[in-house]
Structure 1
């Protein structure tokens, strides 16, 4: 099926004619590099579309709004992931993070040696590339930029070179939003009145929550001043009319129900695009000051490359939405996987009105009993009100098991409160959207189906990238894994799982255990299979089997398995084991001595005064800390 509508209609003849004309006008010389547009990305963290130009009356964004008056506002722009690292991986590679295996929050994913990310392609086409300063791609950025530092700037480029420059502002991150530090907004003279804010139904309406929500707008005002500074610098340099400018956020608000949630509130972002007069031909297919063209982060890199007149690498999976090769996509896809020490596999597809979401681990609530959800700010406030039994129903749902499938009509239900999945009149639409999602997952060899432990183990064993590992699976093999994963939350009888328990493929065995974990009936009939799977040669399978056994059975061997897995040298496998131990709750008590005396010390360090690094050791430590807290041990964790 043709998924794309081609904007440009010039065939083979017209590009040849254009080349001939350019050659005549340039008298046989190469086109000057400065004839190509400079491209500036001004990105920021953790905010949904609340700029003033989007109609938000609380926003104080004069710089962005004035830019928007002579620019294009995108009404349907989306991060493909509702949390930073996979979102940024997608942005910079032009590839779905689930294809690369970079969809988990902070990992060290081996990527193909042949993969060239956006700044590399731009450098090869003659651009100076600078990044100030965040990367967070889940793979190494070393050597991929001309400069990536806190002082990186287009002003550092050689004379005469066009530039691609990125400036990322962290002031709107969930940290400052929840911290309520006066120092973060000391440059402001006006502040948002908490009494004027309108909270979504899934957040409790309390003075503290209103203060946090209002502070979020004040941080946006600080960011707007940063935008003003950069625009002034462009003007000082005489480059404002030579530069295409992108202003956007990396995903939705840094608050519960948004960041980390695979829904529209977590995925939709503001995006203002400024194209100077001399480059208006590159956006001639967009009429007016706003557009409903659907774009995802996976499309940003191919678009920038297209604007620069360079060739988009075949490996990139996004599509240009500007320039001569622009296409309009019918669907935008989303994904949520491990964030911090909370496992999740959820996927979404959006057609411009309806958002379909599939949860492959529905037994796990979004709001898990994990350290990340027990910190201060909005999380502390939600927990306080929950303890008093005063949470509204919409907020209570965040703590419950998730529905396996959801369908939202975002036109009539923008707050995503009414699930239409069981409405008979939507059966045809649901079938179409599920079919599109399934086909996309298989086509891109969604590594979330292989699961983190298995994909990383295979990559190391084969000395390969996760991307290449996933593509070593045939289409038919991936279809079988997806078939197993889609059984989660749908099992009517345990006999349905028998073939998957004994499957030769480890990912199928893993998903059979996830389905067993989600099964609400007795699992006594399959205890022999569960005991056998605890001895599986693949750690990811053995860990999950042991977790289910502790929860639902009484074999003491399960604790031995988990203890052994916590002692493995492979941090990825240890992380899964630590997460499984945390999910045991108070039943994890027999493991406390080994956690305290042997395991945690290996991952302790100076990060937040507790952990060895920002990657796997942090999340292992967080899971083990929360396990001890649940079991009644006082832990002085970060604030």
Structure 2
């Protein structure tokens, strides 16, 4: 029989995760005077407020994969936005472990893990609720609220905030320096705070339901966001503004012994999403699986560093990694030749993005905003204590040479230890997993430490090559990822690559599509090579959607030079991936991103296509 009201005391605490989308730590209890969050602030007054909590990724799917597995997404290969990754059979995510320990587990409703969630929850649906559990069972319930997502933030729909008696005054908004101070941007910023206030009301509703059921004193409550604001310079950006999140942990009096390692109502210990699953298990008195890479953040031993990652989001590739020590944030860009703000549909989708583009075209962007459209530094070091808005890159300052070396070394060690699959690139890791009928996690661990270190070595050369002779030996490596990164190094090289075009043309026949598509892209950009056009056209016709996406992204990067490929795109490729999503695409995964890349390619060639704004 379902149990709706069960005040009965249980040995194990109930655990409730209340998560929401796309907002940094701007609750009123964090000192933001512009925010109106009375429910959260009242909860925080009787809870632990964490001030140094980080998503490991600045976009939803890899962040959520990390949360639910207790593993770095780059270890599993789940770091690319909306992908379908084969994971190890022995992988048990948080609700599976808790179910085995006697918990009822419910999820309402978003998953977005980049792998199937089927059979891993007792219930995962819009109706999922702790109230559906059998009599006497403790519960682990997740509620995720979408109201603060970048979609509502940028859409400015009045109905989203119609429940509020008053609204935030745009004139009182305080914008960060990387956003232009225009009336439209202020309106969007104020609306973002209105949506936060709506979320605060949703938190109130859930807490009221706990109280109605007599469970408020039996339930440990987490309140947090999944990454930074849904605005330019935040979501998708691997910096503090993209990674830092609010986190309130409410522990009822009867369970205070479980948090004895924390002193005071505010904690500045370093926490990241990879730690949430093991900590939840520890609170439930359940053994933490050996496979989990996070740690119990409530234990006496504190973390020294947190790590971040940014890879493909939509049809925009990045490979960037970060490490933070509590004061200094070090970021390494492995594809520095690509701007933050790429020429892609996702950066021209309305709201704040349209406003950025309008002001850019009018020549009215502030200098901090102009940087988003430029190539990136290979290395960044921010002192977040002195420079919380991340305006001063200290990486080339001699005074910080030792700090850069320390954090760069920690990052290298972490990437090698966890076999960071971003170094294998999405096309290569998926090709190798398919060929061996295995999964990405095991594929990456089949690399010897020496081989993986070699891949990292070549990837770190990108943006720092002064003579092409430095990269030539790696173009013939037996390691697929080494050849790939050698080509990325050439793509980022600012000098003449003419003497390498013959060698690059030989790589058009490489058996690895990620390598051949990159070779084709480079040759077409350099000399509009006809053989390269043929190769890209053939790659677009492959059945493997992951490899087609690699080619489609290369086509998008060609700009107007993609014109010879337009006939095959419109007649043969796009019809395969068309459907009802946004009125154009077959589904929310690879077909959508292939379609987005090829729609932008058409726009680059002067062809008007209907796109969602």
Please give the TM-score of this superposition, normalised by the length of structure 1.
0.94
Q: Paired residue for 1:620?
A: 594
Is 1:577 equivalent to 2:547 in the alignment? no
Which deviates further from its counterpart, 519-528 or 605-614?
Answer: 519-528
Q: Paired residue for 1:445?
A: 419
Counterpart among 595, 607, 611 of residue 633 in structure 1: 607
**Does the 8 Å contact 1:33/1:160 carry over to 2?**
no
Q: Paired residue for 2:147?
A: 171
Counterpart among 57, 61, 68 of residue 37 in structure 2: 61
CA deviation after TM superposition for structure 1 residue 553, in Å: 2.6
2:10 match: secondary structure = helix
Distance between the aligned counterparts of 2:346 and 2:284, measured in 1? 41
Q: Paired residue for 1:538?
A: 512
Q: Deviation string for 1:496-527 (max 9, x for gaps)? A: 10111010001000000000000000001111
Distance between the aligned counterparts of 2:340 and 2:542, measured in 1? 28
Q: Paired residue for 2:4?
A: none
Q: Paired residue for 1:129?
A: 105
Distance between the aligned counterparts of 2:10 and 2:508, measured in 1? 63
1:627 match: secondary structure = helix
- Give matches, 1:81-480, under 5 Å: 81-322=57-298, 325-480=299-454
Distance between the aligned counterparts of 1:429 and 1:441, measured in 2? 18
CA deviation after TM superposition for structure 1 residue 327, in Å: 3.0
CA deviation after TM superposition for structure 1 residue 375, in Å: 1.1
Distance between the aligned counterparts of 2:62 and 2:301, measured in 1? 24
**Does the 8 Å contact 2:523/2:529 carry over to 1?**
yes
Distance between the aligned counterparts of 2:13 and 2:69, measured in 1? 21
2:15 match: secondary structure = strand
Distance between the aligned counterparts of 1:549 and 1:314, measured in 2? 47
Q: CA RMSD in A?
A: 0.8
Distance between the aligned counterparts of 1:421 and 1:638, measured in 2? 39
Is 1:598 equivalent to 2:566 in the alignment? no
Distance between the aligned counterparts of 1:485 and 1:533, measured in 2? 18
CA deviation after TM superposition for structure 1 residue 326, in Å: 5.0
Distance between the aligned counterparts of 1:304 and 1:288, measured in 2? 20
CA deviation after TM superposition for structure 1 residue 73, in Å: 0.6
Distance between the aligned counterparts of 1:97 and 1:137, measured in 2? 9
CA deviation after TM superposition for structure 1 residue 33, in Å: 8.9
CA deviation after TM superposition for structure 1 residue 282, in Å: 1.3
Unaligned runs of 5+ in 2: 1-7
Distance between the aligned counterparts of 1:436 and 1:357, measured in 2? 12
Please give the TM-score of this superposition, normalised by the length of structure 2.
0.98
**Does the 8 Å contact 1:33/1:162 carry over to 2?**
no
Distance between the aligned counterparts of 2:595 and 2:546, measured in 1? 13
Distance between the aligned counterparts of 1:143 and 1:274, measured in 2? 29
Unaligned runs of 5+ in 1: 1-31
Q: 4+ runs of 1 displaced by more than 6 Å?
A: none
Distance between the aligned counterparts of 1:112 and 1:181, measured in 2? 42
Distance between the aligned counterparts of 2:206 and 2:395, measured in 1? 46
Q: Deviation string for 1:53-110 (max 9, x for gaps)? A: 0011111111100000000110000000000000000000000000000000000000
2:423 match: secondary structure = coil
Distance between the aligned counterparts of 2:483 and 2:582, measured in 1? 37
**Does the 8 Å contact 1:319/1:327 carry over to 2?**
no
Distance between the aligned counterparts of 2:475 and 2:587, measured in 1? 36
**Does the 8 Å contact 2:227/2:242 carry over to 1?**
yes
What is the aligned residue count?
Answer: 606
Residues 465, 313 of structure 1: CA spacing in aligned structure 2 closer, same or farther, 3 A cutoff?
same
Q: Deviation string for 1:407-436 (max 9, x for gaps)? A: 000001001000000111111111110000
1:328 match: secondary structure = coil
**Does the 8 Å contact 2:9/2:218 carry over to 1?**
no
